[in-house]
Amino acid sequence: MDLNMNRYIIKAALAAVAMASVASCNFLEEDLKSSLAPENTYTSSLGFEVGTAGLYSIARSEYNTWGENGAFIHNGACAYECLQIGTDICEQNGAKDGSLTPFANLTLNASTQFVKTYWQWAYNLIGSANEILIFSEKDNVKWDKPSDKQLYQAEARFFRAYAYRYLTYLYGDVPYVETIQNPFVLSFTRTPKAEVLSKIIADLEFAAEHLPVDPDGVKTGKLTCWAAYHLLSEMYLVQKDYEKAEKAALKVIDSKYFSLMKDRFGANAKAAGDAYSDLFILNNQNRPSGNNESIWVMQFEYNTVGGGTNSDDWTRRAWNPQYFNINGFTLCEEYGGRGLAQISPMKWWIGVKNTNATGPDGIFEDKDMRNSEYSIKRTWIYNNPAVESTYGKQCNITDQTWSVGHLFPALTKFFFGVSANLSLTGGYKDRMKFRLAETYLLLAEAYLGMGDTQKAADAVNVVRRRAKASDVTAEQMDMDFLLDERIRELVGEEVRRFTLVRTGKLVERVKKYNEAQKDIIDDHFCLWPVPQNILDSNRDADFPQNPGYESK
């Protein structure tokens, strides 16, 4: 949703979220009589602009924690964390939020909170998209331009595909719904995953054809066809259609609209740093800053109409340490504001160099800029002048400070502090959902699928050269190297669970790297259970639970 939209559009979009029909197995039928009821709203291009703005709002509410401004309510840690914690990159530390524990120790069941809310969130988005698509076909709509109908349908179909992407990764076979369910339905069945994937791809192909081409010609945060091509590449990989995945990725790369940022840019271009860390500086995520790497950016900017709230994007609280709980520290912007260390990086990949902690050296070369102090903060200086005995001295990271979440090597990409309110809970930088570096890594994955390790290495080396890392050879290039490279480049940005499931590596990598889960995980954990409230409400048709969760 564009930061520059006027106040009316923002408020109307939030109302559109509230009025959307939820095409899930347990939605409630509503009789809306307000001026923003669908029959009144979806009669003009402006009405569909309101409705599609609501789709952007629902999509980004995945990262909203407590439901401010009418956003979807998860009530716990940032829901995104549960898609990171049960993998090979992070573990539960610090504030051991109970909403994450079932994913940290693999005790999740059909009643686990995020198991339920991800299902509800996705079908909320699907229901809202379906409503737009249905009303766009009515004869009473007055379009400002002949192309508006296909434009708004393209946005709706993109978000419908985006939601089904989550559902198929998490639950496998799920009901495919493309209409408004009225009256209440109690007889859904599970559509085979392969069929749902085909429909996802059909939606994305339509979006790629009809979304705008020029990223400089749309409002900040709005979709272009290149976001659809990027996501198409990933979904073709899920289908194991590697040639189509290659072509979709190359569409983005060869468009010439995007480039990896190799030179300093944006708000802190003259300060200490490098081109990679510049990507994550406040206000550097969108094209007006000079960032030509971002393909799609969710808008969260703090203290801006339509921007973030105090409950938005708690990624900062998730990944950043509780340094302020150590005597001699005080909250500050430079140290990323107020983190909670709900998750912390595993030592095997981030390494313990320059700390007093024990463990491996990690997966970075010394010269890799993604391992620089500007990207991974390993040096922590006591900053509270009220504690004279330590002020200005270095505080060592130890196994103890790491395990309790007080101090560890921290990802500066998630730092966010506002001096006017250092207790802010959210991280209000706009969020790069898709960027070109990942497109190259999707391309490499396609080449690996085709058995061409040289081309896979070539694609990865484009990303590594920007980071000043040495080239990988065709002989070194395999799926594990690519998965490590995705950590180096995209840790915390990608949905790590989806990557490992797609590549068939979840169980293997967790057994190898995740001490808490290595003796527990098996293949059935590649899917989540179907929420119990869905099973209970769907009483008029057989709706089987996913294997392994039947009695839990």
Span 433-456, pLDDT tens digits = 999 999 999 999 999 999 999 999
Q: Does the pLDDT of residue 23 top 50, yes or no?
A: no
The Cα 256–Cα 1 span in angstroms is 24
Residue 94: predicted pLDDT: 72
Residue 37: predicted pLDDT: 81
Distant-in-sequence, close-in-space partners of 256: CB < 8 Å, separation ≥ 6: none
**How would you class 271 by CB atoms within 10 Å of its CB: exposed for 0-12, middle for 13-18, buried for 19 or more?**
exposed
540: tokens are 């008029």
Phi, psi torsion values for 283, nearest 5 degrees: 80, 10
Q: Does the pLDDT of residue 363 top 60, yes or no?
A: yes
The Cα 158–Cα 156 span in angstroms is 5
Cβ atoms of 260 and 436 within 8 Å: the answer is yes
434: tokens are 């898709």
Which residue from 378, 364, 360 is spatially nearest to 469, judged by alpha carbons? Answer: 364
Phi, psi torsion values for 274, nearest 5 degrees: -155, 175
Span 110-135, pLDDT tens digits = 999 999 999 999 999 999 999 999 99
Q: Which helix (H) or strand (E) holds 435?
A: strand 431-435
* Sequence-ordered alpha helix ranges (H) in 355-473: 399-403, 436-449, 453-466
The mean predicted confidence, pLDDT, of the chain is 90
The Cα 110–Cα 529 span in angstroms is 5
CATH 1.10.3470 correct for 1-192:
no
Q: Does the pLDDT of residue 458 top 90, yes or no?
A: yes
What is the arithmetic mean of pLDDT over 240-249? Answer: 98
Residue 74: predicted pLDDT: 78
The owner of tokens 């996501």 is: 231
Q: Does the pLDDT of residue 15 top 60, yes or no?
A: no
Task: Work out the angle between the directed axes of helices 436-449 and 479-490 (0-180°, nearest 10).
Answer: 170
Q: Does the pLDDT of residue 28 top 60, yes or no?
A: no
The Cα 413–Cα 375 span in angstroms is 7
* Number of Cβ atoms within 10 Å of the Cβ of 176: 21
More confident position, 539 or 277: 277
The Cα-based distances of 358 to 115, 280, 371 in angstroms read: 35, 29, 18
Q: Does the pLDDT of residue 425 top 90, yes or no?
A: no
DSSP letter assigned to residue 371: G
Span 321-335, pLDDT tens digits = 999 999 999 999 999
The Cα 64–Cα 262 span in angstroms is 32
**How would you class 69 by CB atoms within 10 Å of its CB: exposed for 0-12, middle for 13-18, buried for 19 or more?**
middle
Give the distance, in angstroms, between the CA of residue 13 and the centroid of all CA atoms in the same chain.
22
The Cα 375–Cα 409 span in angstroms is 10
Which residue from 434, 513, 524 is spatially nearest to 90, judged by alpha carbons? Answer: 513
**How would you class 398 by CB atoms within 10 Å of its CB: exposed for 0-12, middle for 13-18, buried for 19 or more?**
middle
Amino acid letter, residue 515:
E
Amino acid letter, residue 269:
A
Phi, psi torsion values for 478, nearest 5 degrees: -145, 180
Residue 296: predicted pLDDT: 98
Span 56-109, pLDDT tens digits = 989 988 988 876 666 666 778 888 999 999 999 999 977 788 999 999 999 999
Residue 81: predicted pLDDT: 92
Helix (H/G/I), strand (E/B), else coil: 207:
helix
The Cα 284–Cα 373 span in angstroms is 19
How big is the chain, counted in residues? 552
